[in-house]
Amino acid sequence: MSRHIEVVDQLGNPLTVPNPPRRIVSLVPSQTELLFDLGVSDAVVGVTKFCVHPPSAKEKAIIGGTKKFNFDKIHELSPDLIIGNKEENYRTGIEELGKHYPVWMSDILTLDDAMAMMDALGMIVDRSDRANELVNHARAQFASFTGKDNGTALYFIWQEPYMVAGKDTFVDEMLRFAGFKNTADHLTRYPELTADGIRSLNPGHILLSSEPYPFKEKHLVEFKEKFPRANVILVDGEYFSWYGSRLIQAADYFKKLSHELSQ
């Protein structure tokens, strides 16, 4: 006879889930990676097209994107647990899935939120010891990292229109850990900015993230021409916005970035 447990997700929703779940659909790349690092890859039956870590995740059934689900594919997979995120997924899609399956949602703005998510999912998939190892490792990495003052920065997630990370975002928290003062921290979430607005904020650094918009070298050149007073660099968005087990590597990335900026 299968066991079930009562849990509450990070939105405060009570759920009854199998213990452990045997058929998981993950709607969030960073949480997909976490499930694999927890050692339950065999239980993961479906992921999004953006779930690229680890490489073996791409061998799972693809259920669409984080903002557009293929409901027929999900129903074919008959999941006994779906894992999503308030910011990365879309409300109407999550509500539809919730009519058929238990959907555990994360809501992450801070490092502590991320650690709580890892502990919670570890318990749900019956890998609490492994989750505790990952959390302790990540906490130790951040505790030992003394971020130097890298000055002011704007962190771009999109262009046409220009969009940056403001306050009340996990990226804003990671910027502080990385030693940057976010010049958009008086704006909420992901505000749109004009070129003149960017100039008025006068950031010391413009950080062009690799995701969700895939900024490349050509964009680097364009931004340097438009905003010559700023130091424009490409950064790996996974270390600023992924809130699962990839956090273990984030502190080392921030150290390297700080070193490069000081040269």
* Burial (CB count within 10 angstroms: exposed 0-12, middle 13-18, buried 19+), residue 11: middle
Looking at the fold, whether 129 and 159 belong to one and the same domain comes out as no
Looking at the fold, whether 31 and 88 belong to one and the same domain comes out as yes
Looking at the fold, whether 108 and 67 belong to one and the same domain comes out as yes
pLDDT at 113: 98
Looking at the fold, whether 18 and 116 belong to one and the same domain comes out as yes
CATH number assigned to the domain comprising residue 55: 3.40.50.1980
Instruction: Of 146, 156, 144, give the one whose Cα is nearest residue 235.
Output: 156
pLDDT at 35: 98
pLDDT at 148: 79
Give the end of a domain, one of 141, 162, 184.
141
pLDDT at 193: 98
Rounded Cα–Cα distance for residues 122 and 130 (Å): 7
Residue 146 lies in a domain: no
Enter the tokens of residue 92: 């109407």
Which structural domain, as residue segments, surrounds residue 97? Answer: 4-141
Looking at the fold, whether 199 and 121 belong to one and the same domain comes out as no
Q: Which residue carries 């590597």 as its tokens?
A: 249
pLDDT at 147: 67
Q: Structurally, how many domains does the chain consist of?
A: 2
Looking at the fold, whether 129 and 91 belong to one and the same domain comes out as yes
Question: Which residues in the chain land under pLDDT 50?
Answer: none
